[in-house]
């Protein structure tokens, strides 16, 4: 399934379509089962306590599903707010907001503390990075695949799992706009040399050689 998505010319739109169509089924059915068909939407743990599971195998699974889809559609909502106001944008906004409300209901019903914390932290990071006072295009996690393309002078990287280091990078970006502008220019040149169309062609050629 993942490889099929990678063959799409518009990878972002393909991923958005898949996530939406999965959400159309998973969350309405989960709510229906929890509220009206408890023999399907609820389970019992080994201690005899009732837990809401929806279409998943347990409360933690439903919490994980809700947190992942919640962060995804929250990102979609933030992207919609930046688009020009049109009738199609308003319909898309209503649909995304409705899905988010259903996801929030499932997340609350799951009573999964880990999923709740991850969703709250993810939301905070998304909102912080989305602030106009921060140049989010220049900050990225210090991960192997990112560093395969970008050198230290082409991107500002923070250590994964280190919130203090991320805060320091935000502060640096805010206080040194001229230096950041130069870093952005260098990073954009690297990005333009490694666009998805070129990487996709390389990927398909590698698969062709293997086959």
pLDDT in tens, 110-150: 999 999 999 998 888 887 766 544 444 567 777 776 777 77
pLDDT at 99: 93
Torsion of CA 90, 121, 187, 194, to 10 degrees: -70
Tokens read off for 57: 């195998």
Cβ contacts of residue 115 below 8 Å, gap of 6+?
60, 63, 64, 66, 67, 107
Is pTM, for the whole model, over 0.75?
Answer: no
Residue ranges for the chain with pLDDT beneath 50: 132-136
The domain limits of the chain are 2-129, 136-210
Contact 3/12 with Cβ under 8 angstroms?
A: no
């Amino acid at each position: 399934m993942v490889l099929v998505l990678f063959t799409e010319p518009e990878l972002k739109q393909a991923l958005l379509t898949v996530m939406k169509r999965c959400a159309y089924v998973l969350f309405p059915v989960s709510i229906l089962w929890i509220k009206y068909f408890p023999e399907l939407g609820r389970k019992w743990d080994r201690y005899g306590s009732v837990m809401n599971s929806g279409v998943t195998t347990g409360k933690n699974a439903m919490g994980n599903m809700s947190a992942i889809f919640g962060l995804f559609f929250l990102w979609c909502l933030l992207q919609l707010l930046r688009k020009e106001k049109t009738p199609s944008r308003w319909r898309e906004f209503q649909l995304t907001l409705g899905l988010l409300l259903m996801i929030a209901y499932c997340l609350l019903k799951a009573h999964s503390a880990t999923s709740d914390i991850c969703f709250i932290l993810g939301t905070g990071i998304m909102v912080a990075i989305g602030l106009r006072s921060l140049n989010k295009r220049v900050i990225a996690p210090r991960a192997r695949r990112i560093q395969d393309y970008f050198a230290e002078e082409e991107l500002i990287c923070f250590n994964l799992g280190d919130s203090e280091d991320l805060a320091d990078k935000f502060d640096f970006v805010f206080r040194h706009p001229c230096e950041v502008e130069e870093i952005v220019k260098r990073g954009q040149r690297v990005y333009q040399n490694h666009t998805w169309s070129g990487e996709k062609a390389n990927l398909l050629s590698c698969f062709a050689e293997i086959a």
